[in-house]
Amino acid sequence: MPYVIGSSCIDTKDRACVEECPVDCIYEGDRKLYINPVECIDCGACEPACPMEAIHLADHTNGDEFGQDNKEFFTEILPGRSAPLGNPGGAAAIGPIGVDTLLVRSEQ
């Protein structure tokens, strides 16, 4: 079960989690960071590094909307893009994506 980043990351993007991730699976949207659920190895290094306590294990059984949101960041076509991001194999090589999912764009 991969880790996900919740709402307290919106408009904060501390990035401490990025520094701790051994597989470079945390990608930067416009307002929030996202963990690629396929690339995440479930090591948990990111969770204690987050000062906002925004990172938790995905729990699809309890209506975890940010679990689904993190997945959609990689599987849905985001605004201004012609294809889904997919699994690029590391965030550092592609840099900030600059857009967010519908859920994050609609959060105030």
SS (H, E, C) the chain: CCEEECHHHCCCCCCHHHHHCCCCCEEECCCCEEECCCCCCCCCCHHHHCCCCCEEECCHHHCCHHHHHHHHHHHCCCCCCCCCCCCCCCHHHHCCCCCCCHHHHHCC
pTM, two decimals, is 0.92
pLDDT tops 60 at residue 83: yes
pLDDT tens string 42-56 = 999 999 999 999 999
3-106: CATH number: 3.30.70.20
CA distance 7 to 48: 16
Domain locations in the chain as residue ranges: 3-106
